[in-house]
């Protein structure tokens, strides 16, 4: 269906509130949805300057999905609409929504002319199969977006031309808002419509434009000077007083690059731009549709200063417009703990999506990791989303794992059992506060903390406090993850307990599960509303090592009422061997293979008569006291990572070679990889005694040549790359074995690639050859 839309001519207007508040824009109302269904109908496109609408009636009537079990699809099947049979096939697997990547250029081949013919056919086909379609509106970065008539692109912080469109190009922004609004208005009443994703910028990462983040296009800088600065500071005198400068006009204020003076000012503008634009885009869509809306969150905690992906921006807007937030990279424990907490704080549904990062042999464990963490989102679980059903290797391996686990996921109800204890993230650095705490290792540190002590602590952010979504006063104790700020100081002054390290958590938050060893198995519960039962998801998340030991479940940590409980395998109905402990806990021996899922129920009452009782539970001993990784071999309890990897930019790529008649792994040189460092990354069996030791002996057999050596950098408390002993060797061109001692060890897989330690190459311009590494507990 071709349709011509006349663009509104209202320009972007200056009306920014003082400091960093949101904009108030004049409202231009679109035509009623009922008038835009006929062929060649002319409508007034909703202007992107609608701003924060005070009329929330459409949002108040929103149609939220009762469940969301989805998979992402390309817009069509190689140029042909997805058929009813295609949708019926995924429906049979338990999927009820198909996300479509929308090609802006295909739906709007010329400015103001839309072709919805294929979209209408797919909606009809999906509806016939009982599936809802959820368009993903990409502005830039996906095939077919942006539209071909858009030509003004971003400029990165390094001066390069970016992939994304210039954020503040007024013509482009009007075009995109009109495209999204007109499309949603056209399809919102279709039986096959299941909601829309609101996106702006580069995919779901906003300012991502490699190399360097985006935001320095001429249109961006012009808006910074003529709109944001005057609205934020009112007068240049006020700006000069704040920053001790002597500018005579706002036009002289630099659009500072990262690390330059006044970079915090421009960073605050970039972050505000994301908040403002998403607000106005969503408001314009809410005027034509009360259907479900979704926000994608791409990237990680550390990316907030560069990408503008502050999670609280999306949660705050989701609360305002009754939208669901979708957490990408949901196989990150630290990120999932954060998003589950934010969902509960903002009362916003959170769905999860898994985007694969590992190689084919790692995909099953990644999928298990992602799926087993879904209960963290409860009671505000918004469903799951598989990226992407497209026939690739990831799809072939991961999709069956996802669909096979869907019936189990769909039955899990209740709430993740939280305790009145929180870890705290200072996000002010993302807002331009140069003195704010570093965000670089926060996500991994939170994940490692939970892996080592599986308790229901919450994650609170400085943005959450500012948005009045939560208060530190709600918590008995708070552990700052990246330094103390004014919120922590105020909390402590009011009598709150500020913790200095994770080892203090047990005094304030009882664990819900104790494991024999960490990193391979994770346990994620959902406790029923009556606090008399709990659903327990177990995921064996190591791609290499299995888990043999025990799991001890604690009713107090699960927020269960005091009493006697027993465990039943929810998948088989069988009652496993278990031992009731004196404090009411239940210990269950566990043997799970790599990348295996299981589901338990913890139910009231004693285990049935005849249930086997293990002699020793919890398991307190066992595991190898020495582990070895040997080039070309497996099974020694220590593995070399990134063997055979070929990606440019990887600092740990290894190639198997034969050196002087001996099998070895060769590091890539900096010329091969394109990066300066070169490393040999290793991961050890988490169930070994070595993984629990505080002092470890490392023996490395390597080829010694002049000028080449390595430093052993290992995971130590608070320092995942602690600099250990350096080995230089004789340089005689021979195989040698160096033995060094590592002290104050804490192997928690916090290095790149989830490694426990690495050999940092002395001279990355030439290769290092390693034949074997042995670690022994002392």
Span 376-380, average pLDDT: 97
Q: What is the pLDDT of residue 212?
A: 86
Return the SS3 of 260. Answer: coil
Query: Would you say residue 29 has pLDDT above 70?
Result: no
pLDDT digits 0-9 by tens, 687-744: 999 998 999 999 999 999 999 999 999 999 888 999 999 999 889 999 999 999 999 9
Band of pLDDT at residue 15, cut at 50, 70 and 90: very low
Sequence-distant (≥ 6) Cβ neighbours of residue 437 within 8 angstroms = 425, 426, 428, 429, 480, 481, 482, 483, 485
Indicate the range of 36-40, 44-48, 382-386 predicted with least confidence.
Answer: 36-40
Both tokens of residue 250? 């706002």
User: In this structure, what token pair is assigned to residue 331?
Assistant: 């196989």
Adjacent-strand bridge partners of 597? 539
pLDDT at 9: 28
Mean pLDDT of 130-138: 98
Structure tokens at 327: 């957490």
Q: Are 2-328 and 511-604 in the same CATH fold?
A: no
Domain boundaries, given as residue ranges, for the chain:
2-328, 421-507, 511-604, 626-777
Higher per-residue pLDDT: 477 or 622: 477
Say how far apart CA 547 and CA 519 lie, in whole Å. 10
Taking all residues of the chain, what is their mean pLDDT, rounded to a whole number? 90
Asked, as a colleague might, if the bond just before 596 is cis with ω within 30 of 0, I would say no
Q: Is the predicted pLDDT of residue 11 greater than 70, yes or no? A: no
Residue 53 in this model has a pLDDT that exceeds 60: no
| Phi, psi values for residue 186, rounded to 5° | -70, -35
Higher pLDDT, 668 or 31: 668
Percent of the chain with pLDDT over 70: 91
CA geometry: angle 200, 203, 205, nearest 5 deg: 85
Q: Pick the residue with more confidence: 615 or 246?
A: 246
What per-residue confidence (pLDDT) applies to 621?
64
Residue 74 tokens read as: 């390309």
Residue 434's pLDDT band (cuts 50, 70, 90) = confident
What pLDDT does residue 62 have?
Answer: 55
Q: Which of 8-17, 124-133, 408-417 has the lowest mean pLDDT?
A: 8-17
pLDDT value, residue 620: 72
Concatenated DSSP letters of 486-502: HHHHHHHHTTPEEPSSG
* % helix, strand, coil for the chain, step of 5: 30, 25, 45
- HSE-CB of 623 using CA atoms within 13 angstroms: 25
- Which letter does DSSP use for residue 429 in this model? G
Nearest CA-CA partner of 718 in 421, 425, 457, 444? 444
Is residue 3 predicted with pLDDT exceeding 80? no
60 has a pLDDT exceeding 90: no
Helices (H), 663-770: 670-673
pLDDT at 330 over 50: yes
Burial of 528 (0-12, 13-18, 19+ CB in 10 A): middle
Residues 474-513: tens digit of each pLDDT: 999 999 999 999 999 999 999 999 999 999 999 999 999 9
- The model's confidence at residue 51, banded by pLDDT at 50, 70 and 90, is very low
- For the segment 562-591, the average pLDDT, to the nearest whole number, is 97
Q: Give the pLDDT band (50/70/90) at residue 317.
A: very high
pLDDT value of residue 429: 95
CATH architecture assignment, domain 626-777: Sandwich (2.60)
Q: Please report which confidence band the pLDDT of residue 464 belongs to, taking 50, 70 and 90 as the band edges.
A: very high
Mean pLDDT of 160-169: 95
Six token digits for residue 544: 């290499």
State phi, psi for 102 to the nearest 5 degrees: -85, 125
Using alpha carbons, list the distances in angstroms from residue 327 to 143, 296, 350, 635: 22, 7, 7, 35
pLDDT at 406 over 60: yes
Q: Name the percent of the chain lying above pLDDT 90.
A: 84
Q: Which two tokens stand for residue 219?
A: 């249109």
Instruction: Give the pLDDT confidence of 646-670 residue by residue, as tens digits.
Output: 888 899 999 999 999 999 999 999 9
Closest CA relative to residue 165, chosen from 196, 135, 203: 203
Please tell me which residue, 435 or 775, carries the higher pLDDT value: 775
Q: How far apart are the C-alpha atoms of 305 and 171, rounded to whole Å? A: 27
Crossing angle of helices 170-187 and 263-286, rounded to 10° = 30
Q: What is the pLDDT of residue 43?
A: 30
Interhelix angle 393-409/363-372, nearest 10 degrees: 30
Mean pLDDT of 11-30: 26
Where does 347-392 have alpha helices with state H?
Answer: 363-372
How confident is the model at residue 19, as a pLDDT?
Answer: 25
Lowest mean pLDDT across 64-68, 126-130, 549-553? 64-68
CA distance 600 to 596: 13
Band the pLDDT of 210: cuts 50, 70, 90.
Answer: confident
Q: Are 749 and 715 in contact (CB under 8 A)?
A: yes
Residues 6 or more apart from 750 whose CB is under 8 A from it?
441, 444, 445, 448, 715, 720
pLDDT digits (tens, 9 = 90+) for 524-551: 999 999 999 999 999 999 999 999 999 9
Token pair 């530190």: residue: 472
Q: Is CATH 2.40.128 what the domain over 511-604 is classified as, yes or no?
A: no
- Beta-strand ranges (E) seen in 69-141 are 69-73, 97-102, 113-115, 132-137
Secondary-structure class of domain 2-328 per CATH: alpha beta
């Amino acid at each position: 269906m071709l349709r011509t839309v006349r663009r509104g001519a209202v320009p972007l207007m200056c009306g920014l509130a003082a400091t960093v508040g949101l904009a108030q824009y004049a409202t231009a109302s679109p035509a009623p949805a009922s008038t835009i269904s006929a062929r060649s109908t002319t409508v007034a496109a909703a202007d992107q300057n609608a701003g924060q609408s005070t009329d929330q009636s459409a949002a108040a009537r929103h149609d939220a999905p009762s469940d969301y079990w989805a998979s992402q699809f390309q817009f069509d099947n190689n140029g042909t609409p997805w058929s009813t049979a295609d949708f019926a096939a995924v429906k049979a697997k338990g999927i009820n929504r198909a996300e479509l990547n929308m090609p802006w250029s295909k739906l709007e081949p010329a400015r103001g002319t839309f072709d919805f013919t294929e979209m209408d056919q797919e909606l009809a086909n999906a509806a016939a199969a009982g599936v809802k379609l959820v368009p993903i509106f990409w502005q830039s970065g996906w095939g077919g977006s942006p539209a071909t008539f858009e030509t003004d692109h971003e400029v990165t912080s390094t001066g390069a031309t970016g992939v994304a469109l210039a954020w503040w190009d007024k013509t482009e922004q009007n075009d995109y808002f009109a495209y999204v609004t007109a499309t949603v208005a056209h399809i919102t009443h279709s039986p096959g419509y299941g909601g829309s994703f609101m996106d702006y910028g580069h995919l779901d990462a906003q300012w991502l434009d490699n190399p360097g983040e985006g935001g320095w296009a001429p249109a961006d800088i012009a808006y910074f000077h003529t709109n944001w600065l005057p609205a934020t500071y009112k007068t240049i005198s006020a700006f000069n007083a704040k920053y001790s400068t002597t500018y005579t006009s706002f036009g002289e204020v630099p659009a500072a690059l990262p690390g330059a003076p006044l970079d915090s000012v421009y960073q605050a503008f970039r972050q505000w731009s994301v908040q403002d634009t998403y607000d106005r885009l969503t408001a314009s869509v809410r005027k034509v549709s009360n259907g479900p809306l979704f926000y994608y969150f791409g990237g990680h905690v550390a990316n907030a200063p560069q990408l503008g992906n502050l999670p609280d921006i999306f949660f705050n807007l989701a609360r305002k417009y009754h939208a669901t937030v979708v957490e990408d990279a949901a196989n990150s424990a630290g990120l999932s703990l954060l998003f589950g907490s934010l969902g509960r704080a903002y009362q916003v549904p959170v769905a999860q999506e898994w985007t694969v990062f590992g190689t084919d042999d790692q995909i099953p464990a990644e999928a298990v990791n992602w799926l087993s963490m879904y209960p963290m989102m409860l009671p505000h679980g918004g469903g799951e989303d598989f990226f992407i059903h497209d026939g690739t290797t990831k799809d072939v391996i991961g999709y069956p794992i996802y669909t096979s686990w869907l019936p189990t996921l769909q039955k899990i109800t209740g709430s993740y059992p939280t305790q009145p204890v929180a870890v705290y993230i200072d996000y002010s650095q993302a807002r331009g506060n140069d003195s704010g705490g570093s965000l670089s290792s926060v996500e991994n540190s939170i994940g490692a903390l939970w892996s080592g002590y599986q308790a229901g602590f919450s994650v609170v952010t400085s943005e959450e406090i500012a948005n009045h979504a939560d208060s530190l006063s709600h918590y008995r104790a708070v552990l700052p993850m990246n330094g103390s700020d004014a919120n922590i100081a105020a909390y402590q002054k009011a009598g709150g307990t500020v913790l200095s390290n994770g080892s203090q958590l047990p005094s304030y938050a009882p664990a819900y599960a104790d494991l024999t060893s960490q990193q391979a198995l994770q346990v994620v519960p959902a406790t029923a509303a009556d606090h008399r039962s709990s659903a327990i998801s177990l995921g064996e998340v190591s791609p290499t090592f299995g888990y043999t030991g025990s799991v001890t479940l604690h009713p107090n940590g699960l927020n269960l009422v005091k009493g006697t409980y027993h465990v039943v395998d929810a998948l088989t109905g069988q009652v496993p061997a278990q031992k009731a402990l004196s404090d009411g806990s239940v210990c269950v021996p566990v043997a799970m293979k790599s990348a295996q899922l299981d589901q338990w129920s913890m139910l009231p009452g004693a285990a049935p008569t005849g249930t086997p009782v293990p002699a020793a539970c919890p398991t307190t001993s066992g595991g190898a006291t020495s582990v070895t990784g040997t080039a070309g071999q497996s099974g020694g309890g220590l593995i070399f990572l990134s063997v055979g990897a070929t990606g440019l930019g990887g600092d740990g790529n290894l190639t198997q070679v034969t050196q002087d008649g001996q099998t070895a792994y060769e590091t890539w040189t900096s010329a091969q990889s394109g990066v300066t460092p070169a490393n040999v990354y290793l991961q050890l069996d988490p169930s070994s005694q070595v993984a629990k030791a505080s002092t470890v002996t490392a023996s490395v057999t390597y080829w010694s040549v002049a000028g080449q050596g390595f430093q052993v950098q290992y995971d130590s408390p608070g320092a995942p790359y602690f600099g250990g002993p350096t080995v230089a060797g004789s340089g005689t061109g021979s195989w040698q074995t160096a033995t060094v001692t590592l002290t104050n060890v804490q192997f928690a897989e916090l290095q790149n690639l989830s490694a426990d330690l690495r050999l940092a190459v002395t001279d990355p311009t030439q290769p290092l050859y390693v034949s074997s590494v042995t670690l022994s507990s002392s």
